[in-house]
Chain A
Amino acid sequence: MLTDSPATTSAAPAAGRPRPRLAAAWARPAVRLSALGAAVLVLTVVYCVTDVPGSLAFALEIRSLTVLAMLVVATAVGVSTVVFHTITQNRILTPSIMGFDAFYVLISTIIVFSSGSASFLAFDQFTLWVTQVVVMVASSVALFTWLFGGKRRSIHLMLLVGIVLGTFFRSATEWMQRMLDPLDFQVLSDAMFASLTRPDETLLVLTAGLVLLGCLAVVPLLRTLDVLTLGEPTAVGLGVDHRRVVMLLFAAVSVMVAASTALVGPILFLGLIVANLAYSYAGSFRHVWTLPSAVLIGVVCLLGGQLVLERLLGFGGTLSTVIDFAGGLFFLHLVLRKGAR
């Protein structure tokens, strides 16, 4: 039995049958979240101190950066996906599946394309970053609103639209990149695709800042998000300024998508897996619990996956492919199970 507030717990003597204390404790979202936090800590320690090739201090320095990068990505992906799910009233579409990280890559390409690499380099890194983020947020909020703002359309149709949009964005990106000088192209790909295991420090700081900004926008709205799970009509009836709130949340989602894409490039299915696992794990529908659960599950997936691939199997660098594979199967399972109902 899943309960979440003290009032519910006390008022519901669980159908009369006394439950073992352990199970009762496990039903509490706080306990579950703490367990998840502990798992993340253990994984972090294992990742940082085992299999050290040379100096421990050096390994720690590099690896703590990797863990930090994973935390940033997991936060961005987890929070943006759960928030996106709540706003769009579904649990299958994610910003990645709707092609929004491909969109980010396209926007970056367009900026380089239209400014030319000379001016690209003349920009200082920070100005460029700010320009990218501002353009990205403005245009993706416009796109979100165009797709989801009007009449409600079927989720499946939107899914198809998203997949087609993704192809469109990727093809358009490639087209533009082909039109670039090889030199410009090099600048672009250096700027856009850092690796999870070797994060660029400046980029990491900038993205961490962005993700923090996104979180700061979301946290005051945690309870409003709970109301949004009831759907737009009910939420409006309960006095939520739906339009304003949704715009703000879409902006936060865009910022986070931009941050994580800039840091590690598109990971198509991570958000989907993480969010859906969080819903069944968290033990409550309230965003106070589901959001941090999604983030921590994201870290477990990335860190655990990296550990298994790198240390046990000796495969480096294929994490996102493996996540795509596992995520694809999980997705098929979700869709077919829902379809069968």
Chain B
Amino acid sequence: MTALDTASASTPTRERPRRTWVGVLVGVLLVVLAGLSLFVGVSDVSPVAVLTGGPGSDAAFLLGVSRIPRTVAVVLVGASLGIAGLIMQMLVRNKFVEPGTTGVSEFATLGMLVTIVFFPGMAVVGKMGVAAVFGLVGTWVFLQVVKAVPVRQLVLVPLVGIMLGGVVGAVTVFFAYRLDLLQSLGQWSQGSFATVMQGRYEFVWIAGVMVGVAWLAADRFSVIGLGEEFATNLGLDYRRVVAVGMVIIAVITAAVLVTAGLIPFLGLVVPNVVSLVIGDNVRRAIPWVAGLGAVFVLGCDVLARVVRFPYEIPLSVVVGVLGAALFLWLLLRRRSRAH
């Protein structure tokens, strides 16, 4: 078993008092960071300016057109990516997977390339639809491949996913390079919220809806996480629940791709941290994963905006550094203890 599994199994009962404390912290952070996100940027949008300037002022306009949409998008993306990771982990029964480590994101990006090549004028919602279909195919391919991996080799599963992603990614890059579309593809897939504004971010609400669906089906995913035999034994239609999960993952991946691009590691780190704190009950975990995911992305987005003020660095880079560091710590942390 992996470090994460044993740790999560032993934690929940012992840590009850800490849970409320962490819950309060996450809530406070969410509010504070969302506030920060509203008022940090190149143009001066301070609460004072908004209040004194009235509804017609520049500050209020900027707030409505750019800052609020951006903050909402960040919160929804963070929450939904966390959920996508959580569900993926339940479907595969492996704690090291998320859309980005299973080739799903790469398939969705390939879908994006297909729309750019064949339907350049397609509306964003159409692009998202195609990307979602490709993402669905990617999820299916991954689940099929994973069946060939012995159950006990837990770390092999994400490895296979990452390689699968690498192969699909190479195909995408090859064609994008041949067709001279590398740059326009890069614009889509570069993870950043810099271009989010009113009228261009609303699709991310679809990802928000998926979070709701996930919450409704939460108990089923908990049971699925215990395995096919177990689920069937409890009278659950295993295939149908898996199908619902796949759709949720694909739609979230595609919606996030068209609004914000690829954001690595989020779906991996957040559910694992939550699992350490409260254990693996999906219904209980969902609000936590959503909240913590939102906090993490909000924090990274604010950091991306201020670290080289007045320029922005891409969010994916900030998440890549912080998320990878956190994930490495999760992987290697047991090393210091005796075996």
| Residues in chain A within 8 A of chain B (CB atoms) | 150-151, 153-154, 156-157, 159-161, 163-165, 167-168, 170-172, 174-175, 178-179, 268, 315, 317-318, 321-322, 324-325, 328-329, 331-332, 335-336, 339-340
Can you list 28 A-B pairs, Cβ within 8 angstroms, ordered by A? A154-B155, A156-B153, A156-B154, A160-B158, A160-B159, A161-B328, A161-B331, A161-B332, A163-B159, A164-B327, A164-B331, A167-B264, A168-B324, A168-B325, A168-B328, A174-B313, A174-B317, A175-B313, A175-B317, A175-B318, A178-B314, A179-B313, A321-B173, A325-B174, A328-B167, A332-B160, A336-B145, A340-B148
Q: Are A332 and B327 in contact (CB under 8 A)?
A: no
Interface presence of B339 (CB below 8 A): yes
Q: Are B170 and A328 in contact (CB under 8 A)?
A: yes
B339 / chain A contacts, CB cutoff of 8 Å? 151
Taken together as a complex, chains A and B put the C-alpha atoms of A171 and B191 apart, in Å, by 12
A322 / chain B contacts, CB cutoff of 8 Å? 170, 174
Tell which of A167, A170, A340 touches B150, judged by Cβ atoms closer than 8 Å: A340
B42 → chain A closest CB, angstroms:
16
Q: Are A178 and B308 in contact (CB under 8 A)?
A: yes
Known contacts being A157-B331, A164-B328, A179-B308, is A325 close to B170, with CB within 8 Å? yes
Q: Are B177 and A318 in contact (CB under 8 A)?
A: yes
Give the size of the chain B interface in residues (CB under 8 angstroms).
45
Taken together as a complex, chains A and B put the C-alpha atoms of A325 and B325 apart, in Å, by 28
Interface presence of B164 (CB below 8 A): yes
Interface presence of B171 (CB below 8 A): yes
Of chain B, the residue at the smallest CB distance from A174 is B317
A175 / chain B contacts, CB cutoff of 8 Å? 313, 317-318, 321
Q: Are B171 and A325 in contact (CB under 8 A)?
A: yes
Tell which of B96, B171, B321, B332 touches A171, judged by Cβ atoms closer than 8 Å: B321
For the A-B complex, the count of residue pairs with Cβ-Cβ distances under 8 Å equals 114
Taken together as a complex, chains A and B put the C-alpha atoms of A179 and B321 apart, in Å, by 14
Chain A interface SS verdict (over half): helix
Q: Are B321 and A318 in contact (CB under 8 A)?
A: no
B137 → chain A closest CB, angstroms:
17
Taken together as a complex, chains A and B put the C-alpha atoms of A328 and B159 apart, in Å, by 11
A174 → chain B closest CB, angstroms:
5
Residues of B152-202 contacting chain A, CB below 8 A = 153-156, 158-160, 162-164, 166-167, 170-171, 173-174, 177-178
Q: Are A328 and B163 in contact (CB under 8 A)?
A: yes
Q: Are A178 and B159 in contact (CB under 8 A)?
A: no
B241 → chain A closest CB, angstroms:
26
Taken together as a complex, chains A and B put the C-alpha atoms of A2 and B320 apart, in Å, by 47
B275 / chain A contacts, CB cutoff of 8 Å? none
